[in-house]
A and B are shown apart, each in its own frame.
Chain A
């Protein structure tokens, strides 16, 4: 330890090394302080994430107001059942995360590993349903590229005038929002794979389970983003024209 050598093994440094508790870093006074610092760090990160998604939500709300008919028609072209199902899948994954944090607090290793695997399973289910929806939009030419076609959006009401440029903005925002959200899900599945491996190796118990807790905070946050995306994208105007 270089800091010990430089201070000549002063009692202060020795006291801060917590040799009886390897999980406690020397710059923290106790486990509670270490846990609170780690959790606060994750909350700061989630604060920046709120601003990151907030900018896109703001752009979405401004254009939704300006081009309401196209946004309503675009929303109706999305699959309501798939959107509702995916919301339910994410809520189930948040439950398994909350139960996993509880299992790690109680030191139930086998239960913890199973709950973390269930979380990863629900995350993959979400991405599978999302992929199925994206495929449908690709088939319907709703991906905003050269082959974009907005004509089939007005099939429920032939009198509805759809401006393709405005519809393109709806689908650009739709793919940006759901795409960045799916990217967060993929990152979350990666984090949970590492946490599952650590849990399987028996790294967590009542004394130390901070990684499970702060990874859980991230997962719940991604769930909350979807809780807002679901009504904003799928439920704009389901009453019909």
Chain B
């Protein structure tokens, strides 16, 4: 067997983890505040956009997807999100065109 070449794992610094935490806490209070302002239909869009930003930050930096050497991890993540979008988009497209509310 060839000698084991060990790739060094990514270790995030404490300061970077605290920065991510501060961004997430800030976004939480921002989204709660924006919800009290009347933006019409954009309230939902803004709330879901901020939630998606927060989720992406957690996935990339806290769950280390940005630093992983394993390409399959990204493939699984993209496949799962794609499947979820198929479920949501096709179901909502169906209900919003057939079901006269």
Number of interface residues of A (CB under 8 A): 55
Instruction: Report which of B37, B54, B70, B81 forms a contact with A227, defined as CB distance below 8 A.
Output: B54
Which residues of B have CB within 8 Å of A80? Answer: 32, 35
Interface pair A39/B70, CB less than 8 Å apart: yes
Q: Given that A36-B69, A220-B62 are contacting pairs, would A98 and B11 also be in contact in the complex, using a CB cutoff of 8 Å? A: no
Question: Which of B21, B62, B87, B96 contacts A54, CB < 8 Å?
Answer: B87
**Contact of A228 with B101 in the complex, beta carbons under 8 Å:** no
A106 within 8 Å of B (CB atoms): yes
* A contact residues around B44 at 8 Å (CB): 236
With both chains docked as a complex, state the minimum distance between the C-beta of A110 and any C-beta of chain B, in angstroms. 15
Contact of B76 among A47, A62, A97 (CB under 8 A): A47
- The answer to the question of A88 belonging to the interface, with a C-beta cut-off of 8 Å to chain B, is yes
The smallest beta-carbon distance between A140 and chain B, in angstroms, is 21
Nearest CB on B from A232, distance (A): 8
B86 to chain A, nearest CB (A): 10
Question: Interface size of B by Cβ–Cβ distance < 8 Å?
Answer: 56
Q: Which residues of A contact B36 (CB under 8 A)?
A: 238-239
In the bound assembly, the distance between CA atoms of A131 and B55 in angstroms comes to: 25
Q: How far apart sit A80 and B34, CA to CA, in the bound complex (Å)?
A: 13
> Contact between B62 and A106 (Cβ–Cβ < 8 Å)?
no
**Residue from B24, B25, B50, B76 within 8 A of A40 (CB atoms):** B76
Contact code string B62-101 (vs A, CB < 8 Å = 1, else 0): 1100001110110011011101100110011001100101
B92 near A105 (CB under 8 angstroms)? Answer: no
